Amino acid sequence: MTVERRIAVRIVHHDPLLAAGLHAVLAADPEIDIVDAPDANGHVCHLHDAGANVDVLVADYEHGLRQAAKPRASAVRDGVAEARVMVFTSRDSESEIRHALQAAVHGYLVQGCSADETVCGVKSIARGVKYFCPTVAQRMANSIAHEVLTGRESDVLSLLFDGLSNKSIARELDVAVGTVKTHLRAILAKLGANSRSHAVSLAAERGLLWTDVREFPYRMMSRAHLPPR
């Protein structure tokens, strides 16, 4: 009788408490082996400490995207050449999720999902099937249902979020005011918005603002020190 090899999983997360929780949940499953588990203090391992090959890397957003972008030769040295990456993060904006998918991660779970869903995600990814939690699936569906903003339109939208006028946005981006107005018309049309404030509101609801709403007070504080426009 042939015994199937257990799934080798490595956890790399900047939050020691989350790393320990992921370890507890995944290690409890008989089909999963944890490679380089967090130590007694909850410290996470570093990829260059690796010795064994890994099937699935469960990582925070930054580590996950960094690993997904690694050249194969570098990944071989780290022992994760064949590892599929599952991001486990609090980041749930449409732009951040799209960025991760473009980086070729294999799975994306948002913090708050169940233990069963986390285990299911790891097993699915180990079988070569991509896995996304419902929040991510909804963001992806929203993205498909709407026209995607261009990079410059996203820049304009971010500055709208800061409360800048057309003239200030033009100065910030070093473009003509007429160009800003053109981008604004495109943004309103793509979002189905009827005003600047409505566009910002809809973008926040969809998670299109790369500069998360939670950063807004800090961004405004930093702009308060800039000379008048």
The pTM assigned to this predicted structure is 0.63
The answer to whether the CB of 130 falls within 8 A of the CB of 84 is no
Position 26 confidence tier, pLDDT thresholds 50, 70, 90? very high
Distance CA 21, CA 2 (A): 32
pLDDT of 7 strictly over 80: yes
- Please give the span between the terminal C-alpha atoms of the chain, in angstroms, as a whole number: 75
Residue 97, beta-bridge partner list: none
pLDDT of 98 strictly over 70: yes
pLDDT at 170: 94
Place of tokens 């979020």: 161
Domain architecture of the chain: domains with CATH: 7-143 (3.40.50.2300), 151-223 (1.10.10.10)
**What is the pLDDT averaged over residues 81-85?**
79
The answer to whether the CB of 107 falls within 8 A of the CB of 130 is yes
Instruction: Name the DSSP letter for residue 47.
Output: G
Specify the higher pLDDT residue, 40 or 171: 171
Mean pLDDT of the chain: 79
Type of residue found at 15: D
pLDDT digits (tens, 9 = 90+) for 118-169: 999 999 999 999 999 988 888 777 766 677 788 899 899 989 988 899 999 9
Position 227 confidence tier, pLDDT thresholds 50, 70, 90? very low
